[in-house]
Amino acid sequence: MKLGVLALQGAVSEHLDVLNDLGVEGLAVRYAEELEDLDGLILPGGESTTLEKLMRRFGLDVALRQALERGMACWGTCAGMILLSQEIANAINGQTGLGHLPVKVVRNCFGRQVDSCETPLEIKGLQGEAFPAVFIRAPGVSDILDPQIEVLAHHQDMIVAVRYGRVLATSFHPELTGDHRLHKFFIEQVVGCKLVER
Ligand code: GLN
């Protein structure tokens, strides 16, 4: 199995560390060619506007759209969710995202950096106790644009986790808490690879 983490900006090493903890070798992806034989890619949290500019500069936007159309599994966390979304309610000038996930997303919808919080979240498909979800200038989904979108979690009055076939998107930062259940869910349920128990 070959998994990548888009490594242009944001919480890259944290995701790579979780993959390593799970016995999976993760690749820090910077170039379009590196997408070619990936089984799955994580788009990390960071700043979606900066990420989009860097993706364009490196030609990764076009390559990523093609990889998504080919059916590469992908998980966008926080800014990564914004990048994947079809509509961005409060996009800055020129920000379009990749347009792959049929939802409308609202950036920074739970407030500013100082409003960051960790909250227990019930997530459909995860066993056991509530997931410790860290929200940092997090987006939320306000509208579902395709009936095939599966809603996995809500926070306040927004949708904060969705699945769309081989695409997963979460508003919060699952790489910051030491709880690896969502990474396991992505690998086993979305990518479709069995993890070896360690
Ligand atoms: N607010 C950021 C954005 O619009 C996302 C924040 C994050 O990824 N933690 O891109």
**Pocket flag, ligand 1, residue 51 (CB < 6 Å):** no
* Residue 80, both tokens: 């990564």
Tell how far the Cα of 196 is from the centroid of ligand 1, in angstroms. Answer: 33
pLDDT tens by residue, 98-132: 999 999 999 999 989 988 899 999 999 999 999 99
47 catalytic per annotation: no
**Pocket flag, ligand 1, residue 95 (CB < 6 Å):** no
Would the pLDDT of 167 be above 90? yes
**Pocket flag, ligand 1, residue 169 (CB < 6 Å):** no
Tell how far the Cα of 86 is from the centroid of ligand 1, in angstroms. Answer: 16
**Pocket flag, ligand 1, residue 163 (CB < 6 Å):** no
Which of ligand 1's atoms lies nearest the C-alpha of 44? 8
State how beta strands 73-77 and 167-170 pair: parallel
Percent of the chain with pLDDT strictly greater than 90: 94
pLDDT for residue 93: 93
- In angstroms, the CA 14 to CA 17 distance is 5
pLDDT for residue 60: 97
Q: What is the pTM of this model?
A: 0.97
State how beta strands 117-121 and 131-135 pair: antiparallel
pLDDT for residue 189: 97
Q: Using 50, 70 and 90 to split pLDDT, how confident is the model at 197?
A: confident
- In angstroms, the CA 156 to CA 130 distance is 15
175 catalytic per annotation: yes
Q: What is the residue-averaged pLDDT of the chain?
A: 96
Q: Using 50, 70 and 90 to split pLDDT, how confident is the model at 36?
A: very high
Task: Please say whether the beta carbons of 58 and 8 come within 8 A.
Answer: yes
Q: List the one residue out of 57, 61, 81 whose CA is nearest residue 69.
A: 61
The residues, ordered by sequence, that sit 6+ positions from 92 with a Cβ below 8 Å of its Cβ are: 49
34 catalytic per annotation: no
Domains of the chain: 2-191 (3.40.50.880)
Tell how far the Cα of 82 is from the centroid of ligand 1, in angstroms. Answer: 8
pLDDT mean over 65-75: 97
pLDDT for residue 196: 86
